[in-house]
A and B are shown apart, each in its own frame.
Chain A
Amino acid sequence: MGTLMEIKDLTKRYGHKTVLDNISLSLESGKIVGLLGPNGCGKTTLMKVLTGLIKDYTGTVLIDGQEPGVYTKSIISYLPDKEYFSGNKRPSDMFDLFEEFYTDFDRKKAENMLVDFDLDPMQKMKTMSLGMQEKLQIALVMARNAKVYLLDEPLGGIDPLSRDKILNTILRNYSENALVIISTHLIHDVETIFDSVLMIRRGNLIVNKQVDEIRAESGKSIEEFFKEVF
Chain B
Amino acid sequence: MFGKLVKLEFKETAKTMLLAYIFLAILGLLAYGLSFTNISAATGILVFLFVFSAVVIGIVTGLLMALRFNKTMFSSQGYLTHTLPVTPTQLYLSKILVAFFWNVVSFFAAVLSVFAVLKISGAWDEFILEIMDEIGMTPPTGLIILFVCAILVSLFTFLVSTFFACTICNTSRFQGLGSAGPIVIYLLTSTILQIISVIGTVFIPLTLFVNEKLKIESFSISFPYKISDILNESITTKAPIGIGGVILIYAMYILIFVFTLKLLKKKVCIK
Contact = CB atoms under 8 A, between A and B. Distances in A.
23 contacts: A14-B172, A48-B270, A51-B82, A52-B83, A53-B79, A53-B82, A54-B270, A55-B267, A56-B171, A69-B87, A70-B87, A73-B83, A74-B85, A76-B83, A80-B76, A82-B76, A82-B79, A84-B76, A84-B79, A86-B12, A86-B77, A101-B86, A102-B85
Looking at B78, B82, B83, B87, which has the most chain A CB atoms within 10 Å of its CB? B83
A193 interface: no
Interface string B78-106: 11101111110000000000000000000
Contact of A55 (B4, B76, B268): B268
A84 B8 contact: no
Nearest to B4: A100
Given A15-B172, A56-B172, A70-B86, A84 B269 contact: no
B172 A53 contact: no
A84 B84 contact: no
A73 B84 contact: yes
A116 interface: no
Interface residues of B, number: 25
Interface string B247-269: 00000000000000000011111
Interface in A12-34: 13-15
A83 interface: yes
Interface string A194-223: 000000000000000000000000000000
A78 interface: yes
Interface string A81-106: 01111100000000001001110000
A70 to B, nearest CB: 5
